[in-house]
Amino acid sequence: MRVTTTDLFALHTFSKPLLVAGGIIAVDNWIDAKTNTYQSTLNYFPDQQPEIKLGYDHQHDTDPQWAHDQLAFLSQADDGTSQVFTQSLLGTPAVQRTWLKTGVDRFLWAADGQGWYLQTHESLAQTSKFPHATRLTRMHIQANGSGLRSENTQTTLFYQGLAAADQQVLHQSAHAFHLVAATDDCLALAFEPDDQFNGDQSPTTTTELFDLATKQLTPIVTGNASATSFSPDGQKLLFVGDPGDGTALADTLMIYDRQAQTYQEIFSDAPEVGNWTIADSQQNLSNVWARFVDDDHVMFLYSLAGEVFLATSDLAGHWQKLDTPTGTISDFNNDGEKIAYTYTNFTTPSQLWANLGLVADHNTAWSKAHQVQTPKAFSFPRGGYHIQGWYLPPVAPAAKHPAILSVHGGPHGAYGNIFFHELQVFAAQGFGVIFSNPRGSATYGRDFLAGNLADYGGEDYQDLMGALDYGLKLDDTIDTKHLYMTGGSYGGFMANWMVTHTDRFAAIVSQRGISDWLSFYGTSDIGFFFGNLELGQYQLDGSHRDSWWHQSPLAHVQNAHTPLLLMHSEDDLRVPVGQSEEFYTALKAQGSPVEFLRFPDSNHDLSRTGLPNLRLERLDAVIDWLKQH
């Protein structure tokens, strides 16, 4: 059976594994076609015993946490708000523990296991039939997925004991913060950027320690890094991110020592910390890329050559890779003795593992019933680098068949050894798929990662065309008169660039792509710092404009001849819909073949976490456009 667009509803993915007494708990995620929603529940896998379904409503159960032999998690209460619940591992009914009017955004167990720290965020604006203007004074005024960043909000930190009446407000702030870590005497809070920016206008986060005894906040680190966890003794705080001004591109690990009041990198020659492979099937991941193992060691994810591994390191930076299956480790946890992690590869949607043993795979029947293609890896030298790519052959290819060049987003993400539903659908529809990681992609080191800066559409474009040529050599049954191209975000920029720089493709689909860097600077939620980092510093005297304009597809629109389908989400604030509007208008004005497909109630993340019915409509539209040409 071939993979179809609707198989999106058949797949299950694991996330947020948690080691508990006698087994592992993981979140089981899926998409429900009838309700058009993403759903999740908890599964407990006792050692050598059948799994037990846990959770409250078995639709919104997530974020399991374990302390003092007690399980707590978030779920949707009967009033529709997100609240904390507890439950026995025997599967007895869950017990609601919080009743906050605004719901719980984030929670952590108190160190003694007698309660929880809760974080909530609410708007203080009065709802009315008569709308009012929104006053903005900060630099960062909007965020993709949430809209305008209103300044009339309040974030509150609560303590909730085991008894319902045992509740107190610990801290309130008009500046948004996130509860990120807890130890016995303090909490780590990460305050979002407001008017805090470094020299190149990159947003910074200030991490502050909240003293539970004095209720006082002490700033400790300001920068582009996020705290993940305290050491077991509570004296050190682990950070993942950029140790400097936000221009390093690749993340690394830092340690803040509370006693010495020092903040320093762990590694002198760091791997690329984190999971940087791009896909469309993994849901609800913790995105916690590093954790303490004990007071002197940490465990972390790192990305290399299109794969994601687990490693451990001492605090002096002596690290070693752990023995795990080849592919992508998407999420993990540890208890100092055992490791639990979620895993995927090109042909495996999602599995739960413990150490080197497979614990569960909820897609076994689906995998056996479907023809899932394995890509052929290739690599070729170009411009001082080795460009890695893959060719995914079509299912039951015809004597001559079409092929698609697919370009990932980012640009500082990467294709890799991870299950990608969309690419499998292309192969099932009879297309060969060529996909690669041009310079600027992650997982190949810092020099490669910075290889496209101030050169968008230059050597990165040549890398992609080189990958296309190499892929054609791997399959002489590809019909070179029916080559196609598609991509989203950076891939959408590259689609717009290719339609104005080559006539090799029979048709192109551009998804959420940039066409004009100059307008992007002032309209995107990240434009004012992303543009500086990627293209060169914005200059008040306008001296940057020639370079930025030259790297804009709109500047070359007169060269466009290839039939183009523009696809964009109405609520995209990362690459605003105006980018496609500008390009569409220019193409129409000169008579170029172009159509424009707009998606309501959708943002920049449509292809990954958007409304399920629109995800199917998007993918069907891509296939239909290419087959028409």
Write out pLDDT tens, residues 502-524.
999 999 999 999 999 999 999 99
Give the position of tokens 């919104």. Answer: 60
The angle subtended at Cα 189 by Cα 187 and Cα 193, nearest 5°, is 170
Whether the upstream peptide bond of residue 411 has omega within 30° of 0, thus cis, is: yes
CA distance 551 to 411: 14
Cβ–Cβ < 8 Å for 281, 38: no
Give the position of tokens 């085991």. Answer: 162
CA distance 172 to 467: 53
pLDDT at residue 202, rounded to an integer: 59
pLDDT at residue 245, rounded to an integer: 60
pLDDT at residue 201, rounded to an integer: 56
Give the position of tokens 């070729």. Answer: 380
Q: Tokens at residue 366, please?
A: 């689906």
Helix axes 459-474, 490-499, angle to 10 degrees: 80
Domain residue limits, the chain: 98-126+138-265, 373-628
Backbone angles phi, psi at 590, to 5 degrees: -100, 5
Per-residue pLDDT tens for 161-199?
Answer: 999 999 999 999 988 889 999 999 999 998 876 554 444
Q: CB neighbours (10 Å) of residue 264?
A: 11
Q: What is the DSSP letter of 66?
A: E
Residue type, 83: Q
What CATH number does domain 98-126+138-265 carry, 3.30.70.260, 3.10.150.10, 3.40.50.1110, 2.130.10.120?
Answer: 2.130.10.120
Cβ–Cβ < 8 Å for 65, 106: no
Report the CATH superfamily, name and number, of domain 373-628.
Alpha/Beta hydrolase fold, catalytic domain (3.40.50.1820)
Beta bridge partners, 106, equal 119
Cβ–Cβ < 8 Å for 405, 393: no
How much of the chain is helix, strand and coil, in % rounded to 5?
A: 20, 40, 45
Beta bridge partners, 255, equal 238, 264
Side-chain-side CA neighbours of 256 within 13 Å: the count stands at 24
- β-strand pairing of 153-161 with 52-54: unpaired
pLDDT at residue 197, rounded to an integer: 45
Q: Tokens at residue 414, please?
A: 């990467």
Beta bridge partners, 332, equal 341
Residues of the chain with pLDDT under 50: 196-200
User: Do you know the residue count of the chain?
Assistant: 629
CA distance 340 to 360: 11
pTM: 0.95
pLDDT at residue 199, rounded to an integer: 44
pLDDT at residue 497, rounded to an integer: 99
Q: CB neighbours (10 Å) of residue 136?
A: 13
Q: CB neighbours (10 Å) of residue 215?
A: 11
CA distance 309 to 229: 20
| Burial letters 92-119, b for 16+ CB under 10 A, else e | eebeebbebeebbbbbbbbbeeebbbbb
